[in-house]
A and B are shown apart, each in its own frame.
Chain A
């Protein structure tokens, strides 16, 4: 079943979505092809499942409400990733404002969130990796997530983040070095 979804081209999905009669088929195909990828992209950005669930739902609703205006100047998945990234960034900014009065540092907040999240069962090393990610500037963090977890080529990242490939490579390099330095300085990384 998933093979069929991945074989269907984005153009075919878009054509189905543009017609009222075939919208439902297009909807199901797009969800089957992209919902998991987009969810995990959002989840890695916002960390907690409940937050990721809110963000991904808002993102997908926006996608389907605006898909008829999509002019195909970029590829479909680039457009989807851009919407998901922007939605997650907006959410994180709001969350940061709400937490501005909290006494906890961001990294300890992430640890608390992960410990409280029933949908996290990672080991200490993964916990520390998440902690290290909170130390990165927002842009470097986005670059690291797209490259490290989504394994996205730099050219595609460049379209989503609207940054040159050279700048992205430099950002990823700096992010990796900062994370490695952080992990090396904390004890007992598994």
Chain B
């Protein structure tokens, strides 16, 4: 490391070439001063700050203070228990939905149609009529009339028509 004399000489040579005015100003007192015994007191003040516990940054301490109440053992345990129940509930619900969809996907269309035939009374009639009135419904509804004789078919239609209201019948045309 160069000593301070060499440093001074370096900068003086540089300033002589660059700016004699600034070189002249450098020789003057800067005018900046410090209070008496400042540096002796500075050492004491820094030493005192070092023995005090390190403070958290202001924004961090504000956030921590806002949530400190939740760190009380009883509350923390309650929050943890609620969180576990919510997570478990969501997991079970999700699992059931997934399994239902998966099981339904495994059914063949014959099995589905057979189920609907067997449980036709459980379906909402208005919904069936609306569906039948739509293009999709008309084209896709299968009444399975192949296995019915003429008499059975007549009874079926009579039963079906009795349940329909007149305005719903209009929808079919």
Contact = CB atoms under 8 A, between A and B. Distances in A.
B165 interface: no
Interface in A39-76: 39-40, 43-44, 47, 49, 53, 56-57, 60-61, 64-65
Given A153-B7, A189-B21, A126 B31 contact: yes
Contact of B11 (A39, A56, A57, A148): A148
Given A64-B50, A176-B18, A36 B31 contact: no
Contact of B19 (A43, A149, A177): A177
SS class of chain A's interface: helix, strand, loop or mixed? helix
Nearest to A64: B50
A108 to B, nearest CB: 18
Interface string A147-181: 11101110000000000000000001100110110
A159 to B, nearest CB: 12
Contacts of B133: none
Contacts, number: 94
A147 B34 contact: no
B144 interface: no
**Among A27, A60, A127, A152, which residue has the most Cβ atoms of chain B within 10 A?**
A60
A151 B21 contact: no
Nearest to B42: A35
A126 B30 contact: yes
A33 B35 CA distance: 19
A89 interface: no
A129 B35 CA distance: 23
A111 interface: no
Interface in B39-71: 39, 42-43, 45-47, 49-50, 54
A127 B87 CA distance: 68
Contacts of A12: none
A31 B43 contact: yes
A184 interface: yes
Interface string A116-146: 0001111101110100000000000000000
Given A129-B25, A173-B18, A120 B11 contact: no
B86 interface: no
A120 B31 contact: yes
**Among A47, A151, A177, which residue has the most Cβ atoms of chain B within 10 A?**
A151
B22 to A, nearest CB: 6
Q: Which 7 A-B pairs have the closest CB atoms?
A: A122-B31, A151-B7, A126-B31, A60-B46, A180-B19, A119-B33, A31-B43
